[in-house]
Amino acid sequence: MATATTYGARDHARAQDGARAEAMPVVPATDWPAPPCEAGHLVWAETVAGGNYTHRVFARGTELRLTDLHGDACAHVLLFVDGRPWERLSTADTVKVQWNAYLRAGQLLLSDQGRVLATLVADTAGRHDALCGTSTLVRNTERYGDGAPQSASPAGRELLKLAALKNGLEPRDLPPSLSFFQGVEVRDDGALDFTGSAGPGASVTLRAEQDVTVLIANVPHPLDPRPGYTSTALEVLAWRAAPTAPGDPLWEDTAEGRRAFANTIDFLASRGLT
């Protein structure tokens, strides 16, 4: 067996140099073949397999585009202010402050401090969820037979725990996540209907309004009724850009949004970050 010895394992590993697979990071990101931004500005390029996760820290103003390549991705996303993990995405405030449970272009992703973590600047999917969070170990074990991270049916929370640990965060730091590319609607009686995917090629673009840590688990939505664990590849691209400024329609759209942006800028100014 070629890898039965240390030398054999080394030679086998070195033989993989330059090999590519569909689901892997591209390093450096600027080697990505068709960047959606000005040349040299791409800072993150990765394809995340179904049942896997990724994470990154990036600067205020960075834009992040997620694309459902084959129609069965579901990106469960958490955001934390870099260096201040106690300020993190609040799905409750994101919904409550903006009077809207349905994510769409123009909405703000808010922390429980009343500040903007990111803006949803573009959306071709229209199938998202801010209500259900991600799957759990117990639930996946009941549905698929296992939910451990190394299993064939890993739970979203278990993968987010791993991503969190790699950024100095603990399981207790993980709030409910947002889900992109698999939708949910609320019926008049309060029940939730799973609306599924918009199909291959749908994308969303987020713009960071503070320095943020992003955690992403690409796993089936917890309300997905299909008996099999169905999850396909997610494309992740991020590039340097500029944060939202006064006068931008995203800033001026609502009174609640203007207040959230004002809270954000006031806080950043006090720390010398604007």
* pLDDT classification of 14: cutoffs 50, 70, 90: confident
Mean pLDDT of 39-51: 96
Position with higher pLDDT, 27 vs 169: 169
% of the chain with per-residue pLDDT over 90: 87
Backbone dihedral region of 247: left (phi > 0), alpha (psi from -120 to 50 degrees) or beta? left
Residue pLDDT, tens place only, 80-126: 999 999 999 999 999 999 999 999 999 999 999 999 999 999 999 99
What pLDDT does 7 receive?
83
Per-residue exposure over 145-167, b if at least 16 CB sit within 10 Å of its own CB, e if not: ebbebebebbbbbbbbbebbeeb
